[in-house]
Amino acid sequence: MTSSRAGRPLSREAATALAREFHQEDAAAGWTRLDGLTSADWPRLAAALRSRDLRSSRLPWNAPPPADAFEALLMACSHNGHLRERALTSRYFTGAFHGDVRLLPIAVVCATDHVPQVREAARRSLERLLGKADLPGTVEAADIASLLAGRSRGDAAALTVAILRREVPGLLEAARTAGGPRLRRVALRLWLEQDPAPEDLTAAALAEKDTLARTAYAEAVEASGRAACAVAPTVLVEPGRPLPPGGGPYIHCRMPRSGRGRVLANCG
């Protein structure tokens, strides 16, 4: 599976060029090109592959099922909804033996398809493919779902949570540290439901770079109020003023409603 944080996302033009190249290469070369994709690349690539002038979109609606996993990937991104559904119900997406975990990212994208039958077929294939995925592959699937959460169809937000609730050792920890910002925020919320130890909260808060996630961490640290955290009351730091002497380290928490400065949680 690909890394959810590697490289820069494809531009729309690059995704279109890559989609055209797929139809000129064999399956082995195509899979090699997919190895470097990020989570953000998959929705763009799927959209590019739906171009009407690509071979997979020119197939008749009653075309036979895909002959291999790579053909299944291309067909699942066809402009024709009948073909997308046919690909997603093929053995390469749903088969106990032939199911190919490399198709998992496309199954996640198709779970938000505008055609209900395609969405349903994708959801059924997800359960099979997620059962075969390793930890990085599961994190990537959740990362892709989190990026699609803004779509009005398919309820990708609920899908993100459902993936993260799977019984995969280390899944929440990996999602909190290796996923994109949206995924880290969702994983953080689920992790906080488990009432983590104060020292774990503090360490995670100090390591977090995302502002919204860091604020949630800081509020959780402050709310815990346990001696193990040595949490002092939050302090208001006026713009341009130095940090209060002593204490710390401080977690840059949030802007107060007054807008006068920045509230910091003291974890010293």
The torsion of the CA quartet 58, 61, 65, 69, rounded to 10 degrees, works out to: 40
Question: Residue 17's domain spans which residues?
Answer: 1-194
Same domain as 204, residue 248: yes
Same domain as 203, residue 159: no
Same domain as 203, residue 94: no
Q: Which is nearest to 73 in space by CA: 32, 112, 27?
A: 27
Same domain as 118, residue 18: yes
Residue ending a domain, among 139, 173, 194, is 194
Q: Where are the alpha helices (DSSP H) in 23-115?
A: 27-34, 41-49, 55-58, 69-76, 81-88, 91-94, 104-110
Residue ending a domain, among 161, 194, 227, is 194
Number of domains in the chain: 2
Distances from the Cα of 87 to the Cαs of 48, 126, 146, 236, in angstroms?
17, 13, 24, 57
Instruction: Give this prediction's pTM.
Output: 0.79
Same domain as 207, residue 221: yes
Would you give per-residue pLDDT tens digits along the chain (268 residues)? 444 434 567 888 888 888 888 777 778 888 888 888 999 999 999 988 887 666 666 677 788 889 999 999 999 999 899 999 999 999 999 987 778 999 999 999 999 999 999 999 999 999 999 999 999 999 999 999 999 988 777 688 999 999 999 999 999 999 998 888 899 999 999 999 998 887 787 778 777 777 778 777 767 766 765 433 333 344 444 444 455 555 555 555 554 444 444 445 444 4
Same domain as 95, residue 31: yes
Residue ending a domain, among 194, 211, 230, is 194
Same domain as 144, residue 207: no
